[in-house]
């Protein structure tokens, strides 16, 4: 399966299938990645033990010289300190203007390695090898970044990959919670643009949760295509792209108040999507949207309510830090039906407060 991400001035393919990594050399040659310049593989210490050495030897058999950098798994590696460490490896490894950075990992490695590629010698080539389901989201759109201690994703760039190689075999070792969290973003793409796909996710939820390659391949293909479609219409986030934030206003606030770690990002946005559907009901939309959204999320083993100890006041306060808040009103992505949403700019905070209460 191939999804073409077309951004007008340039485009790149996302290849999805089993066993792709064994042929990475052919993909590289077809995409003009030269064997004359060294490559750098960036990965984390959960992924490296299983997948790094075989990637290194496949590349070397195909005539590529490479250096590898293994960072600690987890969000803290998206920092300027680790960024500098990766840069050091790149310089010591002799990367030049024609070199390519390969991100072997989830969204953390993708964002970090992508930002290194965007900055090294003012920008070199970048290839994503996503190993999480969530990374289907980060592999489209070209956003790359590290965090500042005061704010997430604050230091970054737009840098599109040359290609994305999604090898389904690498997903088989994902822990179950990470699987469901990634599926939350997948069903989100259905909920915002394609009701049939959202319903397909529910009908095939047991295969998806069990990492069945056929179901996963199709789900990732649709998820990537929907995101690509939205991004290609709004590459720099001026309007339409905001719909990708369904569930994220409440979700980000829950992540912040719970302390990063209690909920995975995908889990928090699942609760946020349930919240947006509740809010839709309060704004006069059909209440069946909520019931259907919840049944989809639960079929994917995702939470739809939050822990009792999280206070509504704290969550509202966390949302106020969000730029989407203005004078008693908030901007929300509100489902109009399963498969379509609208951007509502003037949701009264009181309604949001009541909705959060109901999520407990
Ligand atoms: P992650 O990269 O931290 O991966 C989650 C966990 O799974 C980690 O512990 C990782 O080591 C482990 N893991 C990864 N692949 C594995 C595998 N195949 N087998 C076993 N374990 C594996 O997190 P994520 O959920 O992939 O991504 C989250 C990050 O993505 C966040 O930093 C977020 O900001 C970013 N993101 C970026 C974009 C974008 O547009 N750039 C979009 C969405 C999310
Ligand atoms: Zn998200």
Of the three residues 127, 143, 171, the one that is the final residue of a domain is 171
If you ran DSSP here, which 8-state letter would residue 215 be given? H
C-alpha distance from residue 283 to each of 13, 157, 346 (Å): 40, 37, 11
What range does the domain containing 198 cover? 176-358
Kindly state whether residues 221 and 348 are assigned to the same domain. yes
Known active-site residue 185: yes
How high is the pLDDT of residue 226? 97
Kindly state whether residues 227 and 278 are assigned to the same domain. yes
**What is the b/e burial string over 316-354, where b = at least 16 CB atoms within 10 angstroms of the residue's CB?**
bebbeeeebbeeebbbbbbbeebbebeebeebebebbee
Kindly state whether residues 154 and 188 are assigned to the same domain. no
Neighbouring residues of 300: CB distance < 8 A, sequence distance ≥ 6: 180, 183, 184, 187, 201, 202, 205, 208, 209, 270
Known active-site residue 189: no
- What are the tens digits of pLDDT across the range 148-187? 988 889 999 999 999 999 999 999 999 999 999 999 999 9
- What are the tens digits of pLDDT across the range 273-327? 999 999 999 999 999 999 999 999 999 999 999 999 999 999 999 988 765 566 6
Neighbouring residues of 105: CB distance < 8 A, sequence distance ≥ 6: 42, 43, 44, 47, 113, 129, 130, 131, 132, 135
Mean pLDDT of the chain: 95
Of the three residues 118, 144, 171, the one that is the final residue of a domain is 171
How high is the pLDDT of residue 7? 83
Mean pLDDT, rounded, for 263-268: 96
How high is the pLDDT of residue 236? 66
How high is the pLDDT of residue 329? 86
Assess whether pLDDT exceeds 90 at residue 235: no
Of the three residues 123, 145, 171, the one that is the final residue of a domain is 171
Q: Which residues line ligand 1 (CB under 6 A)?
A: 44, 46-47, 73-75, 78, 105-109, 111, 131-132, 134-135, 137-138, 141, 143, 153, 170-171, 173-174, 178, 265
Using alpha carbons, select from 79, 146, 157 the residue that is nearest to residue 123. Answer: 157
C-alpha distance from residue 284 to each of 40, 290, 331, 340 (Å): 53, 12, 16, 15
How high is the pLDDT of residue 238? 65
Kindly state whether residues 159 and 197 are assigned to the same domain. no
Kindly state whether residues 223 and 140 are assigned to the same domain. no
Kindly state whether residues 105 and 62 are assigned to the same domain. yes
Alpha helices by DSSP H, 259-311 = 265-282, 288-299
The structural domain count of the chain equals 2
């Amino acid at each position: 399966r191939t999804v073409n991400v077309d951004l007008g001035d340039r485009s790149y393919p996302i290849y999805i299938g089993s066993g792709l990594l064994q042929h990475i050399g052919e993909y590289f040659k077809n995409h003009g990645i030269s064997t004359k310049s060294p490559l750098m593989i960036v990965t984390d210490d959960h992924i490296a033990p299983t997948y790094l050495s075989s990637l290194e030897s496949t590349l070397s058999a195909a005539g590529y010289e490479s250096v590898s950098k293994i960072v600690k798994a987890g969000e803290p590696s998206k920092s300027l300190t680790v960024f500098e460490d990766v840069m050091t490896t790149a310089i010591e490894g002799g990367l030049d203007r024609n070199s390519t950075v390969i991100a072997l990992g989830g969204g953390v490695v993708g964002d970090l390695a992508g930002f290194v590629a965007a900055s090294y010698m003012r920008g070199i080539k970048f290839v994503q090898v996503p190993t999480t389901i969530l990374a289907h989201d980060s592999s489209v759109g070209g956003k790359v970044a590290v965090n500042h201690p005061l704010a997430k994703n604050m230091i970054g760039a737009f840098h599109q990959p040359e290609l994305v190689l999604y090898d389904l075999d690498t997903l088989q070792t994902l822990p179950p919670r990470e699987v469901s969290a990634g599926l939350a973003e997948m069903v989100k793409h259905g909920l915002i643009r394609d009701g049939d796909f959202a319903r397909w996710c529910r009908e095939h939820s047991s295969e998806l949760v069990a990492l069945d390659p056929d179901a996963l391949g199709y789900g990732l293909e649709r998820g990537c295509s929907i995101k690509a479609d939205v991004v290609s219409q709004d590459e720099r986030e001026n309007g339409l792209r905001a719909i990708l934030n369904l569930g994220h206003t409440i979700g980000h606030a829950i992540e912040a108040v719970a302390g990063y770690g209690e909920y995975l990002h995908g889990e928090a946005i699942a609760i946020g999507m349930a919240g947006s559907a509740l809010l839709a009901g309060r704004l006069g939309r059909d209440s069946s949207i909520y019931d259907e959204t919840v049944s989809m999320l639960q079929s994917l083993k995702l939470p739809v309510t939050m822990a009792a100890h999280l206070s509504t006041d704290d969550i509202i306060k966390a949302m106020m830090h969000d730029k989407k808040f203005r004078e008693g009103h908030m901007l929300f992505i509100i489902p109009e039906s399963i498969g379509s949403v609208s951007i509502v700019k003037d949701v009264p905070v009181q309604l949001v407060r009541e909705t959060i209460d109901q999520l407990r």
